[in-house]
């Protein structure tokens, strides 16, 4: 029986060792980096959109010169609030979708790696 912490590495050739250990580690690392990159881009896009909206609102407020302009600004705030709420909902949905995709891809990768490990271990023990 092979113990994960105490096994004879001589029974594995380089290709088997790569298939059993390094290949899965690289695949998972690649998946994790892709997820982190997508999440970072989503967060940066959201931050830019919120910042741009806030700055645009400040510029609009600075341009108010009379009661009518203030009234118009305040009425426009409702649309801005609605747009921001929709953006926030969309951003949250995007993050959830990224997380779900990561979990699904991780599960698929794990299943493939378990199958590969079983095949590699069987081949290695058969060569003894």
pLDDT digit string (tens) for 97-125? 999 999 999 999 888 888 877 776 677 66
Contacts of 35 (CB under 8 A, 6+ apart): 98, 101, 102
Structure tokens at 80: 């801005």
DSSP, collapsed to helix, strand or coil, labels residue 3 as strand
As a whole number of angstroms, the distance between CA 67 and CA 75 comes to 12
Widest pairwise Cα distance in the chain: 90
Residue 26 pLDDT more than 90?
no
Condensed to tens digits (0 to 9), the pLDDT of residues 48-61 reads 999 999 999 999 99
Backbone angles phi, psi at 77, to 5 degrees: -60, -35
Among residues 47, 19, 12, which one has the least CA distance to residue 128? Answer: 12
pLDDT at 7: 54
């Amino acid at each position: 029986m092979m113990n994960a912490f105490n096994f004879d590495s001589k029974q594995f050739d380089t290709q088997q060792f790569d298939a059993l250990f390094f290949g899965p580690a690289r695949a998972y690392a690649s998946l994790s980096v892709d997820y982190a990159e997508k999440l970072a881009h989503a967060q940066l896009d959201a931050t830019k959109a919120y910042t741009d909206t806030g700055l645009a609102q400040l510029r609009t407020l600075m341009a108010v010169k009379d009661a009518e302009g203030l009234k118009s600004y305040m009425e426009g705030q409702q649309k801005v609030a609605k747009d921001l709420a929709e953006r926030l909902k969309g951003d949250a949905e995007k993050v959830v979708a990224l997380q779900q995709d990561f979990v699904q891809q991780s599960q698929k990768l794990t299943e493939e790696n378990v199958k590969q490990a079983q095949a590699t271990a069987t081949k290695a023990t058969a060569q003894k």
